[in-house]
Amino acid sequence: MAETDFKFERFEEYYGDITQVKKIMDCCKICGSKMIQTHLADYKNFLVQETARCPECGNGNRKTIHILN
């Protein structure tokens, strides 16, 4: 996968109670720090592009497309 590729969000990725889901979405999988997230909305196509990276360990560049219904 190229560095600029985004993956589409799938709700199957999120499991557990609300605390677990928030941790999956907000925390670095390597060091556990809070990720910095940026969002770019495309309201014409009902999409939001999200990028996330960890300021502590540099892990990241998670790129996700959220579909707005």
Inter-residue long-range contacts of 24-32, CB under 8 Å, 24+ positions, other chains counted: 28/54, 28/56, 28/57, 28/59, 28/60, 29/59, 30/54, 30/57, 30/59, 31/56, 31/57, 31/59
Pairing, β 7-8 against β 36-42: unpaired
Instruction: Supply the Cα-derived Rg of the chain in whole angstroms.
Output: 13
DSSP-based three-state secondary structure for 64 = strand
DSSP 8-class letter at 27? B
- Looking at residue 2, its pLDDT comes to 47
pLDDT digits (tens, 9 = 90+) for 16-66: 888 888 887 888 888 989 999 999 999 899 999 989 999 988 877 788 888
